[in-house]
């Protein structure tokens, strides 16, 4: 193992090699013995000319130097070893990692270089500080994805912030898309979103919003992409790690960095469905307390929310409040009823049993 560690450190620049030794020296050997060797070179090399993943995002040609060039197997803060890629976006990439200190899986959300994004630190950190200080006995506290911690990394262009979260299964959007594919293909082994399930989802969202209101936080970006589900069985994460060790995910090398294809976390075998839904991604959150907004890094009150979910008062430049989040939830429900409940042949919208759904909330 020590030979492998020296080999891996030799591949890194001095600044990145330091990420292995940011803890006291007496703890380093204990953590390094838990490292896995992800150097298996038996992976498919993709055509560098064909855009994949974050390369397909608008403006990537100007943004690419500000993405941190993560490598699978890399260790951050001498604690988190990257296992595989889970997703990407305009402001960050997400990665499954092993927490060597607590022997558990976590998700790392690695932001683009902070100066490029235009703020000292991600506003999401300030939002989570307010959420963590809220009432511990409120039932909505458990309906929000936790922040386990955060740290910074020095990349080729500057400092990157990294948030540490518990792993979650896919989003509500992923579930609906999979369900839609199953309806079209006749697949019957994937759980459908029923009125009862939707009632559970809405109840969780309302609990989360009530708790956020107690903490003076307005989410402002509620959509099916930002409602994710707990993982009931960590064996699905072990499967991803095993797959990456034995048959690594395809990737391409360009600009001296790797771009990996993302893993989709599968549902546990024989599962009736995902776990409880949680409200996630407070990167666009606003704070309603002027005092807190002056002390912490919060975003301003300019136009926000995705176009399709934007509340009327925001569109008209009027005063807004917590109600804009409720508008988002309503938009989600309408779009679900009109777009995802269709017959596989006629593609005709079906009337969803809303009365039954709301009776169960």
Q: Under a CB-based contact definition with an 8 Å cutoff, are residues 138 and 84 in contact?
A: no
CA distance from start to end of the chain: 53
Rounded to an integer, what is the distance from CA 347 to the centroid of its chain? 31
* DSSP symbol at 121: S
Q: Whole-angstrom Cα distance, residue 67 to residue 63?
A: 7
Hey, is 27 helix, strand or coil?
coil
Strand 104-111 versus strand 159-165 pairing type: antiparallel
Q: Whole-angstrom Cα distance, residue 83 to residue 242?
A: 9
Token readout for 255 is: 């600009």
Q: Which of 221, 281, 301, 325 is catalytic?
A: 221
Burial tier of 187 (Cβ tally within 10 Å: 0-12, 13-18, 19+): exposed
Q: Under a CB-based contact definition with an 8 Å cutoff, are residues 337 and 176 in contact?
A: no
Q: Whole-angstrom Cα distance, residue 326 to residue 330?
A: 6
Q: Whole-angstrom Cα distance, residue 47 to residue 39?
A: 21
Secondary structure E strands in 176-330: 217-218, 227-230, 251-254, 257-260, 277-279, 286-287
The yes-or-no answer on residue 325 being catalytic is no
Q: Under a CB-based contact definition with an 8 Å cutoff, are residues 147 and 282 in contact?
A: no
**Residues labelled as active-site residues:** 221
């Amino acid at each position: 193992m020590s030979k492998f560690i020296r080999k891996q450190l030799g591949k890194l620049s001095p600044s990145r090699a330091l990420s292995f030794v940011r803890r006291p020296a007496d703890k380093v050997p204990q953590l390094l013995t838990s490292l896995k060797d992800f150097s298996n070179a038996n992976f498919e090399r993709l055509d560098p000319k064909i855009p994949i993943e974050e390369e397909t995002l608008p403006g990537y040609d100007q943004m690419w130097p500000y993405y941190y060039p993560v490598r699978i197997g890399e260790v951050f803060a001498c604690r988190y070893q990257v296992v595989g890629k889970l997703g990407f976006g305009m402001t960050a990439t997400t990665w499954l990692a092993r927490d060597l200190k607590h022997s558990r899986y976590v998700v790392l959300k690695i932001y683009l270089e902070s100066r490029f994004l235009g703020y000292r630190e991600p506003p999401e950190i300030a939002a989570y500080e307010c959420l963590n200080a809220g009432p511990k006995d409120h039932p909505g506290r458990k309906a929000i994805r936790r922040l386990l911690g955060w740290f910074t990394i020095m990349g080729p262009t500057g400092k990157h912030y990294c948030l540490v979260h518990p792993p979650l299964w896919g989003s509500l959007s992923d579930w609906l898309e999979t369900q839609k594919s199953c309806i079209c293909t006749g697949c019957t082994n994937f759980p459908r979103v029923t009125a009862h399930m939707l009632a559970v989802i809405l109840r969780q969202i309302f609990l989360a919003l009530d708790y956020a209101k107690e903490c003076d936080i307005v989410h402002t970006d509620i959509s099916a992409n930002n409602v994710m589900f707990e993982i009931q069985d960590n064996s699905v994460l072990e499967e991803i790690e095993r797959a990456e060790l034995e048959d690594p995910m395809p990737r391409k090398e360009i600009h001296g960095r790797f771009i990996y294809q993302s893993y989709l976390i599968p549902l546990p075998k024989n599962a009736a469905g995902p776990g409880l839904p949680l409200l996630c991604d407070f990167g666009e959150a606003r704070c309603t307390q002027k005092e807190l907004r002056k002390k912490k890094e919060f975003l301003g009150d300019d136009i926000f929310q995705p176009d399709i979910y934007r509340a009327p008062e925001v569109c008209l430049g009027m005063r807004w409040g917590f109600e804009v989040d409720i508008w988002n939830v309503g938009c989600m429900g309408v779009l679900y009823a009109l777009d995802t409940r269709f017959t596989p042949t006629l593609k005709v919208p079906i009337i969803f049993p809303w009365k039954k759904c709301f009776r169960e909330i």
